[in-house]
A = this chain, B = another copy of it.
Amino acid sequence: MDRSLLVGLIFSKKSFLCIGLDTDLTKIPSHLLETEDPIFEFNKAIIDSTHDLCIAYKPNFAFYECYGAQGWKSLTKTIQYINLTYPGQLFSIADAKRGDIGNTSQQYARAMFDPSSSGMEFDAVTVAPYMGEDSVKPFLSYPGKWIIVLALTSNKGAADFQFFQNGDQRLFEQVLSKSQQWGNNENMMYVVGATQAEMLCDIRKIVPDHFLLVPGVGAQGGSLLEVAKYGLTKQCGLIVNSSRNIIYASSGPDFAMKAREEALKMQQEMAAILGFTQTKC
């Protein structure tokens, strides 16, 4: 999905919400555990009930890999379902935090972007920058696909290395600057945690137009208004993720409806932030 389509989705849906599919067998409604593929059934119900309120889904690979090959099957079915059922209506993010030497990242890129090889086709993948240019570039050889580079993450451990300082430049700023040589705002985004909202001013000085994927609103304590205040651009420039607050709004048979209610609240806040007065109901 190219940038203009993504921006189009955001303004037509009046939303920049991404729903994180961190699907956990211990948290989903018990009646689903009797189905053949509970993880997929849960995801399908969440997607069907929220697809018009969000612009993206972000399966978190760890939550599938912990069930091994079977988990990968559920993951594959989920992305296939999104692509087949809602073509062109949703941006999909493989939240996999991959990155390795060049010939290895090439294989990871096939996993995420080449359905003839892996059965899966996402629009974007999150990548870890520690290994530098050749660990990231292979993902950029797929036209229309995106990488989302970890810059400043939402967790406590972000402080351990991301603020490592060389003169007046911190490591996350070096990641933002250096990576400009590898891609552009048509194929590269950055992860910036909502818990770091006050840093968005500094970040926007380096990447004024790039999309930022912002996790950490909700369960991790970040504020949507703060994020928008410092991070919003004319073309929105933000994809804000919420996972647990939405998908686990209820653990009963009404989980999909309750998830929709939570997603709707966020979509309405986002519509207002984007300057729309009329909101969906």
Chain A residues at the B interface, C-beta cutoff of 8 Å:
22, 24, 60, 62-63, 65-73, 75-76, 97-108, 110-111, 114, 117-120, 128-136, 150, 153-162, 164-166, 171, 174-175, 178, 220
CB-CB under 8 A from A98, the residues of chain B are 62, 97
CB-CB under 8 A from A24, the residues of chain B are 107
A128 and chain B: residue at smallest CB distance: B128
- Nearest chain B CB to A142 CB, angstrom units: 13
Q: Are A101's CB and B131's CB within 8 A? A: no
7 tightest A-B CB contacts, nearest first? A132-B157, A132-B160, A68-B118, A62-B107, A65-B111, A69-B72, A66-B110
Distance between Cα atoms of A178 and B60 in the complex (Å): 27
Contact of A133 among B72, B75, B157 (CB under 8 A): B157
Contact of A130 among B62, B63, B128, B166 (CB under 8 A): B128
- Nearest chain B CB to A127 CB, angstrom units: 10
Distance between Cα atoms of A220 and B102 in the complex (Å): 11
CB-CB under 8 A from A106, the residues of chain B are 62
Distance between Cα atoms of A24 and B117 in the complex (Å): 12
CB-CB under 8 A from A114, the residues of chain B are 66
Q: Are A131's CB and B107's CB within 8 A? A: no
Q: Are A130's CB and B130's CB within 8 A? A: yes
Known: A65-B111, A67-B117. A158 touches B132 (CB 8 A): yes
Q: Are B97's CB and A100's CB within 8 A? A: yes
Q: Are A131's CB and B150's CB within 8 A? A: yes
- Nearest chain B CB to A24 CB, angstrom units: 8
- Nearest chain B CB to A68 CB, angstrom units: 4
Distance between Cα atoms of A112 and B97 in the complex (Å): 16
Please, could you name 27 A-B residue pairs with CB atoms under 8 Å apart, sorted by A? Answer: A60-B100, A62-B100, A62-B106, A62-B107, A62-B108, A65-B72, A65-B108, A65-B111, A66-B107, A66-B111, A67-B117, A68-B111, A69-B73, A69-B76, A128-B131, A130-B130, A130-B162, A132-B158, A132-B162, A134-B157, A136-B157, A161-B175, A164-B164, A164-B166, A164-B171, A164-B174, A165-B166
Distance between Cα atoms of A157 and B133 in the complex (Å): 5
Q: A60-B100, A101-B220, A161-B175 are in contact. List 5 more A-B contacts (CB 8 A).
A: A62-B107, A68-B117, A129-B160, A131-B150, A171-B171
Q: Are B174's CB and A155's CB within 8 A? A: no
CB-CB under 8 A from A76, the residues of chain B are 68-69
